Structure 1
């Protein structure tokens, strides 16, 4: 019997399985086994053999030759199932199963399979380093989409080149720091879209990590629980955003030493390959000295770059405001019957008069929304 292990996101694995004929899910077999009678004995070689007597129809398992094991299907089962996988594999062989396909096995399950000669682990590196072509494309996207932050853009470009040319596949670990609402998170999203073709990034709010629930999430106490490692296993890009990392408790920060160093995230249940990843930590502190009071020297030294994000200049505030106004009127954020009632030049003129009193993107966006509302309220054609 052939055993294939695939470390890949569940949707990718599902597409792989859907192309196959003659499959059944291991979780369904376990339900049948709960009702069956099982006995064990030793053969002439001293090996333990499992004999099973089913009490219900098992034709589904006998007529299909591929067993699919997904950890997400085994939420209701304890790790005992993984510890006794040899016994279950014997049963599958008795049923005539020719192949077992496993997605993202737990560490216990994989360790109990490693001695088998019929095991093949497909552990291809899930994400490659960013090519020079993609890095150049990112630079163009950052310049066109992110207002200001020239120092940050230059530092990011430099470090991406460093990651590309160096040997090995260690993650690139960056710390973005500066006041809120000036582009740190938006830069991370642009990087994901440009480098990996998706704006879906894994984003964790680290300032909220405290207490037992967070400890279990980042360190995991059971394979059936929601965990950070499961989120990483199913990521769509190789960019990880850890917001307000410096405010995470020390016992949570220690979970990231191996990830920052080796590109591997390990908890009690899973080991996740994060090589070649780009890990972006953010902080709303405005100086390195402030951050160092909240991050241990050992962890701080693991950042490849600590990159400042500076406040908008007066000219940049006007540019931000203009882009927000244009996006509201051209992107479908306002119902079409109201757009015709808005004098764009009048809105921008009022925004320009007030925008210097506001410090970040969110505040400027709220200003734009209020002025657009005032423009509509003052229009004689305004109606529901």
Structure 2
């Protein structure tokens, strides 16, 4: 039973999988399992000497049984290891699986005729390079060498010869445009940027995330399968313990990432790792030759010069002014605000800190303006008492 079930496995983001499902009737795996378990819990009452006339009605055969990528975490381990038996029991006409664990796919391949559909991820084209070149200065101040190095690194992704990712290391001080550069190229390609901050993961939690734990735990491999972007940003790569470096050898070399539960083929994607390393020698010493040599390019980001800091401030003030209400803009002088900030932030080259400083100064001027128009409560009380 169930040998005629047609199985299709879909690899890609959830939004794309939803479009593949269309408007046909759906029955989800978890619903089917809950109904089965509920039926098993029913208690039958019989009377001695009387035959039961109640017949068990078999569940109707589902036309389409669907499993989402998040569903497998709710399925018991024994059901994962015997997924074929589960399918045979439910006996759907069609089985549609979204990003299943490798063990499930392997089982189904042995028993059923399995079709595979994969999402086509956005890729870098000549048009992408032109837009990146022409739009770089609108998004970042300075870093002209970064623009040229990026164009050279991205070129190989425009050729059909490239079948594996381009892997880049952005290094330099914080807040000078590393993450913004990754967001810029991702914005040109489309899709939601897959961004992981390695500083947020520690010890055992990080180990299960990278190497794979139980199938119910989150993992880097499953996040890679669920992504919609051709760009993968690994922030603060330098914060990861060196014990985890081996997990990236194959993905940097061949574009394949594999853990205990999933196997991901990335294809011609763009992997960007950011760090606060100060030089290539420092990167080599920290990561070791085995991982250091697997980067296609190491791109330095320079500290901002005093003139560039002023340019950043001017841009930030202009953006903040545009977002203000008309009465708020009337209470502020844009040029005066810029001059004040130039004096206060001449040595601050971190764009994030500059943004917070701009917000603080503008808010301070606005609140002073608002309070200067309000009557002084203590004076008002004295006037009332005198009357």
- The TM-score, its normalising length taken from structure 2, stands at 0.85
| 2:78 maps to which of 67, 80, 83 | 80
The partner residue of 1:257 within 249, 256, 266 is 249
The Cα shift of 1:365 comes to 2.0
The structural deviation recorded for 1:381 is 6.9
TM-score by length of 1: 0.86
- 1:314–1:185: structure 2 CA closer, same or farther, 3 Å change rule? same
Q: How does 1:214-253 map to 2 (within 5 A)?
A: 214-253=206-245
Instruction: Name the CA distance, whole Å, in 1 between partners of 2:69 and 2:356.
Output: 45
Which residue is equivalent to 1:274? 266
Residues 347 and 35 of structure 1, relative CA distance in 2, 3 Å threshold: closer
CA contact (8 A) 2:7 2:112 kept: no
Shift of the alpha carbon at 1:153? 0.7
**1:341/1:381 contact within 8 Å kept:** no
User: In 2, Cα distance between the equivalents of 1:342 and 1:367?
Assistant: 16
Q: CA deviation at 1:222?
A: 1.5
- Which residue of structure 1 aligns with residue 65 of structure 2? 67
Aligned length: 357
* Cα distance change of structure 1 residues 379 and 171 upon mapping to structure 2, 3 Å threshold: same
Q: How far is the alpha carbon of 1:9 from its aligned partner?
A: 1.4
Specify which of 89, 100, 109 is matched with residue 105 of structure 1. 100
| Aligned partners of 1:182 and 1:312 also within 8 Å | yes
Q: Distance in 2 between matches of 1:341 and 1:24?
A: 59
Question: 1:284 & 1:369 partners in 2: Cα distance?
Answer: 26
1:68-96: per-residue Cα shift (whole Å, max 9, x none)?
12242232323321322232333344xxx
Report how far residue 223 of structure 1 moved.
1.4
Partner of 2:46: none
Match in the other structure for 1:165:
159
Indicate the SS of the match to 2:111: coil
1:56–1:260 Cα change, 3 Å: farther
Q: How does 1:135-174 map to 2 (within 5 A)?
A: 135-165=129-159, 167-174=161-168
Moved more, 7-16 or 130-139: 7-16
Q: Tell me, yes or no, if structure 1 residue 193 matches structure 2 residue 187.
A: yes
- Structure 2 segments unaligned to the other structure (5+ residues): 41-53, 375-387
| 2:31 aligns with one of 25, 28, 31 | 28
In structure 2, distance between residues paired with 1:138 and 1:267: 34
The answer to whether the aligner puts 1:370 opposite 2:360 as a matched pair is: yes
Cα 1:269–1:372 shift into 2, 3 Å? same
Cα RMSD over matched residues? 2.3
Unaligned runs of 5+ in 1: 38-53
Deviations 1:203-259 (A, max 9, x none): 222233321111111122111112222222221212111112122112222211111
